[in-house]
């Protein structure tokens, strides 16, 4: 069974990335109630920032990583403050916000294209020999990728469940108006949520960058898969995003057994459409509740 | 006479083009239990939301202990010692009972005080203690109302605003909640109680206002219930 095992391993690797992206989408969806495309842009931005600091400037990888995460955090703050907040204050609909976020996505990736050009870039790490695990070949970087995703996810859960900040994020997500009457600064909480979401998406982008390579157009497909993963898990359900992510990763890789590999990306679309039609609330079915108050 | 704790002067407010409050004057002294009754859509919630900064007044002012609080944000108002129990039992449904109460004490830094207050709330509403680790979604209507009130007690407020606490509750649960509201008031908290259920509200208040289409139509003491107009319109006899 080495082929299946290899496909499963590939599924886990892809799934780890989708899970990070899905948590990023879900965190933001929870607090501002619209599907925000900007984590896709953040993903690309982080990968290119890390490339710039590490390869172009020659800085140590960890320094480059930290600087890149600072940059994407700032970018997320600017995006929220200069684009989404004015729309929120004018009571723009979620559809307008979604379109605006698509605009943000195009602008950010467009700027990256202008700055770095269209050709594929690599971090130029030496080719690694894979470890043989149950007949599947997995490299150290790939293991690092899966472990990082799981560890980040674990700390995210812990943070949301046990810290005062995490709880206030959940309160604002649950009912913004009531949260404000308890003394929670809603705008500040939204900003912090965007920063955390940006760090998740940023780490995903950098991990993919070192594991594969980077190009300005790498964001779109990951937006689709990340959003699919968060919908499959149950929109806004952050723990379920992890399962959704791994599910999409594994299913699309196993699909190669039955379909030509060119159809891999189509599988995610297919799953997305099936869920939207038949189970829009996702596997773990928490229906999103409209905020009503008298 | 006790000190004036709340003064609302010529308050006007609404939503965009829609004018809801058309010049409201209300006064409460320390320790009062003020009932504000009125029919559906008369502007009761809008008035309470204006006090808490959730609706921006277009005219008039609101004074709390002589200090102007008009135009302040909700997260600032709570620091004055005012808390709010919204209409419709709006607890955080995705959070546990305990977490809901913790959120009520969000502005307190000292964790031991939060624990202490929580125990006091549990003593006041023993049913909540049994359900402390359950998500608020799974509580009954009455228990959700207790939680909503408990959350607003965590700060030991000087004044508490209650928006239709009887709404949607079974008669027994309603009676329970109103007894608790009376107790809260007796322990020294000024209560502003908005209600459609005039019977219950007038029974426990010491001062009452009737609000109709955004204006104060009547005001008085508890005895307002004896007025023919109130009887006809709100008490159904
Ligand atoms: N967010 C809002 N946007 C627009 N109009 C609103 C909003 N909230 C309330 N209104 C309108 O303002 C008017 C007064 O509403 P309000 O909620 O203050 O009434 P109420 O006295 O609390 O009624 P009820 O007893 O039903 O709670 C109503 O006509 C209502 O439709
Ligand atoms: Mg109301």
Residue to test with chain B: of A239, A288, A294, most B Cβ within 10 A: A294
Q: Residue B40: CB within 6 Å of ligand 1?
A: yes
pLDDT of residue A284: 76
pLDDT of residue B225: 67
pLDDT of residue A128: 79
SS (H, E, C) chain B: CCCEEEEEEEEEEEECCEEEEEEEEEEEECCCEEEEECCCCCCHHHHHHHHCCCCCCCEEEEEECCEECCCCCHHHHHHHCEEEECCCCCCCCCCEHHHHHHHHCCCCCCHHHHHHHHHHHHHHCHHHHHCCCCEHHHCCHHHHHHHHHHHHHCCCCCEEEEECCCCCCCHHHHHHHHHHHHHHHHCCCEEEEEECCHHHHHHHCCEEEEEECCEEEEEECHHHHHCHHHHHHHHCC
Pocket test for ligand 1, best of B18, B201, B217 (most atoms within 8 A of CB): B18
Q: Residue B41: CB within 6 Å of ligand 1?
A: yes
Look at residues A12, A114, A31, A11 and name the one whose alpha carbon lies nearest to residue A76: A31
CB contact under 8 A, B79 and A175: no
CB contact under 8 A, B75 and A168: no
Of A14-18, A122-126, A160-164, A182-186, which range is least confident? A122-126
Pick the more confident residue, A135 or B55: B55
Residue among B52, B78, B163 whose CB faces A294 most closely: B163
Q: Residue B42: CB within 6 Å of ligand 1?
A: yes
pLDDT tens digits for A60-106?
A: 999 999 999 999 999 999 999 999 999 999 989 999 999 999 999 99
CB contact under 8 A, B75 and A171: no
- Angstrom distance (rounded) from CA B118 to CA B105: 9
pLDDT tens digits for A260-281?
A: 878 888 888 888 888 888 888 8
Structural domains in chain A plus CATH codes: 2-117+133-293 (1.10.3470)
B79 in A contact zone (CB under 8 Å) = yes
pLDDT of residue A131: 86
Whole-number Cα distances in Å, B19 to A60, B29, B36, B55, B56: 62, 28, 19, 12, 12
A251 pLDDT above the threshold of 70: yes
A288 pLDDT above the threshold of 60: no
Distance from the alpha carbon of residue A226 to the mean position of ligand 1, in angstroms? 40
- Angstrom distance (rounded) from CA A181 to CA A136: 54
pLDDT tens digits for B106-118?
A: 999 999 999 999 9
Chain B stretch 90-129, residues whose beta carbon is closer than 8 A to a beta carbon of chain A:
90, 92-95, 99, 102-104, 106-107
Q: What does pTM read for this prediction? A: 0.91
* Percent of residues, chain B, with pLDDT higher than 90: 81
- Angstrom distance (rounded) from CA B189 to CA B9: 22
Q: What is the CATH number for B100?
A: 3.40.50.300
- Chain B hits for A164, CB-CB cut-off 8 Å, are 106
pLDDT of residue B233: 66
pLDDT of residue A37: 95
CB contact under 8 A, B106 and A173: no
Count CB-CB contacts under 10 A for residue A37. 25
How many contacts does A have with B, using Cβ atoms within 8 A?
Answer: 72
pLDDT of residue B204: 92
Pick the more confident residue, B200 or A84: A84
How would residue A291 be classed by pLDDT, with cut points 50, 70 and 90?
Answer: very low
Q: Residue B87: CB within 6 Å of ligand 1?
A: yes
pLDDT tens digits for A35-65?
A: 999 999 999 999 999 999 999 999 999 999 9
Pick the residue from chain B with its C-alpha nearest to A187. B75
Q: Is B189 exposed, middle or buried (0-12, 13-18, 19+ CB in 10 A)?
A: buried
How would residue B165 be classed by pLDDT, with cut points 50, 70 and 90?
Answer: very high
pLDDT of residue A148: 95
- Angstrom distance (rounded) from CA B141 to CA B146: 9
Quickly tell me which residue has 């407020």 as its tokens: B157
Report which ligand 1 atom has the smallest distance to the Cα of B38. Answer: 21
Residue among B93, B104, B164 whose CB faces A182 most closely: B104
pLDDT tens digits for B120-150?
A: 999 999 999 999 999 999 999 999 999 999 9
Mean per-residue pLDDT of chain A: 91
Q: Residue B214: CB within 6 Å of ligand 1?
A: no
Split into its structural domains, chain B has a count of: 1
Quickly tell me which residue has 């023993």 as its tokens: B126
pLDDT of residue A70: 98
Cβ–Cβ < 8 Å for B66, A173: no
Distance from the alpha carbon of residue B135 to the mean position of ligand 1, in angstroms? 29
Residue to test with chain A: of B40, B106, B109, B147, most A Cβ within 10 A: B106
- Chain A hits for B48, CB-CB cut-off 8 Å, are none
CA B150 to chain centre: 12
pLDDT of residue B24: 94
How would residue B232 be classed by pLDDT, with cut points 50, 70 and 90?
Answer: low
Look at residues B145, B24, B154 and name the one whose alpha carbon lies nearest to residue B78: B154
How would residue B234 be classed by pLDDT, with cut points 50, 70 and 90?
Answer: low
pLDDT tens digits for A1-42?
A: 678 889 999 999 999 999 999 999 999 999 999 999 999 999
How would residue B235 be classed by pLDDT, with cut points 50, 70 and 90?
Answer: low
CB contact under 8 A, B87 and A294: yes
- Angstrom distance (rounded) from CA B108 to CA B173: 31
Region A129-156: mean pLDDT is 90
Domain of B80 in residue numbering reads as 4-234
Mean per-residue pLDDT of chain B: 92
Pocket test for ligand 1, best of B41, B162, B193, B201 (most atoms within 8 A of CB): B41
pLDDT of residue A134: 83
Q: Per-residue b/e over B103-123, b at no fewer than 16 CB within 10 Å?
A: bbbbebeeeeebeebbeebbe
CB contact under 8 A, B95 and A170: yes
pLDDT tens digits for B58-77?
A: 999 999 999 999 989 999 99
- Angstrom distance (rounded) from CA A208 to CA A90: 38
pLDDT of residue B2: 79
pLDDT of residue B197: 87
Region B45-68: mean pLDDT is 95
pLDDT of residue B221: 80
């Amino acid at each position: 069974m080495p082929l299946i095992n290899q496909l499963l391993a590939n599924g886990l690797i892809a799934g780890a990335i989708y899970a990070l992206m899905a948590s990023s989408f879900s965190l933001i969806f929870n607090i501002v109630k619209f599907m925000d495309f900007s984590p896709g842009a953040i993903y690309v931005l982080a990968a290119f920032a890390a490339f710039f600091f590490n390869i172009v400037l020659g800085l140590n990888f960890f320094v480059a990583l930290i600087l890149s995460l600072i940059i994407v955090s700032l970018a997320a703050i600017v995006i929220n403050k200069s684009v989404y907040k004015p729309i929120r204050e004018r009571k723009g609909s979620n559809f307008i916000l979604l379109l605006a976020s698509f605009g943000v996505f195009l602008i950010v990736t467009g700027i990256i294209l202008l700055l770095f050009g269209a050709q594929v870039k690599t971090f130029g790490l030496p080719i690694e020999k894979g470890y043989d695990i149950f007949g599947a070949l997995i490299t150290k970087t790939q293991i690092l990728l899966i472990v990082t995703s799981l560890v980040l996810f674990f700390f995210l859960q812990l943070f949301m469940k046990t810290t005062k900040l995490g709880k206030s994020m959940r309160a604002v997500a649950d009912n913004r108006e009531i949260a404000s009457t308890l003394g929670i600064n809603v705008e500040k909480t939204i900003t912090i949520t965007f920063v955390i979401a940006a760090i998740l998406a940023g780490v995903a982008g950098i991990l993919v960058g070192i594991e594969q390579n980077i190009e300005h157009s790498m964001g779109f497909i990951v937006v689709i898969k990340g959003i699919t993963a968060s919908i499959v898990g149950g929109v806004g359900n952050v723990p379920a995003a992890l399962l959704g992510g791994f599910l999409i990763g594994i299913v699309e890789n196993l699909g190669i057994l039955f379909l030509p590999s060119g159809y891999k990306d189509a599988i995610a679309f297919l799953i997305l459409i099936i869920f939207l039609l038949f189970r829009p609330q996702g596997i773990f079915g928490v229906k999103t509740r409209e905020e009503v108050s008298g | 006479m006790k000190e004036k704790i709340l003064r609302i002067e010529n308050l006007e407010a609404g939503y965009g083009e829609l004018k809801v409050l058309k010049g409201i004057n209300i006064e409460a002294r320390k320790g009062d239990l003020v009932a504000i009754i009125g029919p559906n859509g008369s502007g009761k919630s809008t008035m309470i939301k204006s006090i808490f900064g959730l609706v921006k007044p277009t005219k008039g002012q609101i004074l709390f202990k002589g200090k102007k609080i008009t135009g302040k944000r909700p997260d600032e108002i709570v620091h004055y010692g005012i808390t709010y129990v919204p209409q419709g039992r709006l607890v955080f449904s995705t959070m546990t009972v305990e977490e809901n109460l913790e959120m009520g004490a969000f502005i307190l830094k000292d964790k031991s005080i939060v624990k202490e207050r929580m125990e006091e709330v549990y003593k006041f509403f023993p049913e909540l203690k049994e359900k402390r680790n359950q998500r608020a979604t799974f509580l009954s209507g009455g228990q959700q109302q207790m939680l909503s009130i408990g959350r607003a007690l965590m700060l030991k407020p000087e004044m508490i605003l209650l928006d239709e606490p009887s709404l949607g509750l079974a008669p027994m649960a309603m009676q329970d909640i109103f007894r608790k509201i009376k107790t809260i008031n007796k322990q020294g908290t000024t209560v502003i109680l908005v209600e459609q259920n005039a019977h219950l509200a007038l029974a426990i208040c010491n001062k009452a206002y009737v609000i109709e289409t955004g204006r104060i139509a009547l005001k008085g003491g508890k005895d307002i219930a004896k007025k023919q107009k109130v009887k006809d319109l709100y008490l159904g006899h």
